[in-house]
Structure 1
Amino acid sequence: MKKIIAKYKAGYTDMGGLDTYRVMPSQEVAIDALEPFLFLNHHGPQIYPANNRGLPFGPHPHKGFETVTFIVDGDIVHTDNTGYNSKIEAGGIQWMTAGKGIIHSENSSKEFLKNGGNVEILQLWVNLPAKFKNVDPAYIGLQKDEIPHLILDDGKVIIDAISGNWEGEKAAIQSLADIHLATISFEKEGKYSITIPEGRTVLFYLISGQLIVNGEKIDKLNLVEFDDNEGTIQIEATEKSLLLIGHALPNNEPVVAQGPFVMNTRLEIQEAYADYQEGKFGKWKH
């Protein structure tokens, strides 16, 4: 079995009225500790009242990585300067490749602003290797019914196969850099095992519930770090649970992150700021 190196509890912060658990990076987890997985914020669960201001993510730039947004509850409207505009609801995902530069916003729908409701959203940043940092920006938005759902253990385990391959089945997205991502929902006593090849970084974050993982109890809001040897992760749910899990090869390149940009050198960060300020990412026309 793969060895558990450490468990890290996400820390709470208020982000413009949005309850947020910062999973990584943190004081304990460096931004490149689980590379290519760089950053994870867990927003909610939270109930917004009627006539609310919605999510606090107005127009902002990105360059050099990909964002993957998981809509557990509520909705989110993605708008960007390349022309994409899509509303994704509970159970769906948004996959954005920032590449050489993009400006986007992530807001609540007009219906949510008016009526309020539950919201729970996770956003993950996945680093791009240097050879892909200047690809054209792109966006994919998928509703729940557009994602393969793999039903295991007599219905007690359901894998939402987001990218890569899971249980021999192709996921909804095949990423530029062989990123495998899924959310797995467990009913009580549901069991699942996965073998991870040597050298791959594991992303393992328990959104809700409680699991026994390779014999250790894992509580909700915990990120688990594993060794990089080939081995199996054995999971059993002690209650209804939702898990974010992934694995990928690290890029083994320098990671320099500042604000909304992730590059390989400090000079490239400075160039990214200059390109944005000079309008090379395009214009925000909305």
Structure 2
Amino acid sequence: MPAVTADTLTLPRVSQPADATVRPVAKVVTAHRQLEGEGFQVRRPFPGTDLAAADPFLLLDHLGAVEYGPGEAKGAPWHPHRGFETVTYMLDGAFEHRDSTGGGGLITEGATQWMTAGAGVLHSELPPQDFVTRGGLFHGVQLWVNLPRSLKWTPARYQDIRAGETVLLSSADGGALLRLIAGELDGHQGPGVTRTPISYVHATVSPGARLTVPWPAEFNALVYVLAGRGTVGAEQRPLEEGQLAVLGPGEALSLTGSALQDHNGSRNGWEVLLLGGLPIREPVARYGPFVMNTRAEILQAVEDFQSGRLGASAPEELAHRTTADEPVDRGTNSERREER
């Protein structure tokens, strides 16, 4: 899990908040496994039974870590989105993005591709052909960020955030490396341009080290474990790979890496994502790749896709299906059940 590494002793330090209320753990969720795209497996801690706890986030998919053999790597071919943003962060391997606005690029270790679907876009997410041919380690995360009603119809946009643009920070004692991808942390600003106020941090906490960081009281707070184990919250609740902690109110996050990290992906420490955002608190209507505020808007999105009006600037190869008995999305069975 190389992502981006650095000597923490040379980096700016995040202050350790004094007299701040450390957020307790409200809930721990273990991600379930399912197949997406052309048949690659993901671990998905949410959406689940309580989507409101994650607002403004809609979905988190943990891709891998998996060692692909030659010819085995898979992705998600052309499909539509409307009403939200997708944020794909690569730790190992590579992913190539193309979309109907002409946006796109190749992301590798430590890079992020940020796609604002807004009014509508068609895109593909595939491993590059040379990676498919040779195989290798593949590990990444995709986060869906909701847009408020006032921004649902914003024009589609693509951001390519290179690994070298990620803001690198250190914990107060140098025991943790923080990679700030988007939003603000203790006065430091990440490179991702956000329409919904969020913070997105990838932290590596050294074995036995403690990480305490300030966190906006008005944001929610989620901690997801990519690899390794440790404890989180005021009560030091155990948390390990594939688990998500939903935190309660407070002004600081506190995490401690276990002294023993025996997982292959956590040799350098406990690998966690720190996620938080300002809740939108609006009705959510979702069907597969469309997230709007009302059922009528979802039906409109399906009709626009079938008629070719969604992502209309797509190349010839993206000719839409138009018959009523063919599928209109690549959403999961669980997502479709949620809308019934």
Shorter-chain-normalised TM-score: which range?
over 0.9
Q: 1:243 to 1:84 in 2, by over 3 A?
A: same
Aligned residue runs from structure 1 range 1-286, under 5 A: 1-15=22-36, 16-26=38-48, 29-52=49-72, 54-153=73-172, 155-214=174-233, 215-227=236-248, 229-238=249-258, 239=261, 240-280=269-309, 281-285=311-315
- Segments of structure 1 that go 5 or more residues without pairing to the other structure are none
Partner deviation per Cα, 1:186-219 (whole Å, 9 max, x = no partner): 2212321123333322122111111221221111
SS of residue paired to 2:54: coil
Q: Which amino acid aligns with 2:238?
A: K
Deviation at 1:153, TM superposition (A): 4.7
Q: 1:260 to 1:118 in 2, by over 3 A?
A: same
CA distance in 2, matches of 1:271, 1:127: 18
Query: How many percent of aligned residue pairs carry the same amino acid?
Result: 30
CA distance in 2, matches of 1:32, 1:102: 26
User: Is contact 2:67–2:135 with CA below 8 Å preserved after alignment?
Assistant: yes
Give me the TM-score of the superposition, normalised by structure 1. 0.93
SS of residue paired to 1:201: coil
CA distance in 2, matches of 1:193, 1:282: 47
Q: Which amino acid aligns with 1:222?
A: Q
Structure with bigger strand share is: 1
Q: Which amino acid aligns with 1:219?
A: E
Give me the TM-score of the superposition, normalised by structure 2. 0.79
Which structure would you say has the larger Rg?
2
Per mean C-alpha deviation after superposition, the further-off stretch among 152-161 and 111-120 is 152-161
Q: Which amino acid aligns with 1:259?
A: G
User: Is contact 2:56–2:145 with CA below 8 Å preserved after alignment?
Assistant: yes
User: Is contact 1:37–1:203 with CA below 8 Å preserved after alignment?
Assistant: no
RMSD: 1.6
Per mean C-alpha deviation after superposition, the further-off stretch among 73-82 and 155-164 is 155-164
CA distance in 1, matches of 2:39, 2:304: 32
SS of residue paired to 2:51: coil
Q: Which amino acid aligns with 1:66?
A: E
CA distance in 1, matches of 2:257, 2:101: 42
Partner deviation per Cα, 1:95-128 (whole Å, 9 max, x = no partner): 1110000000000012101111000111111100
Q: Which amino acid aligns with 1:23?
A: P
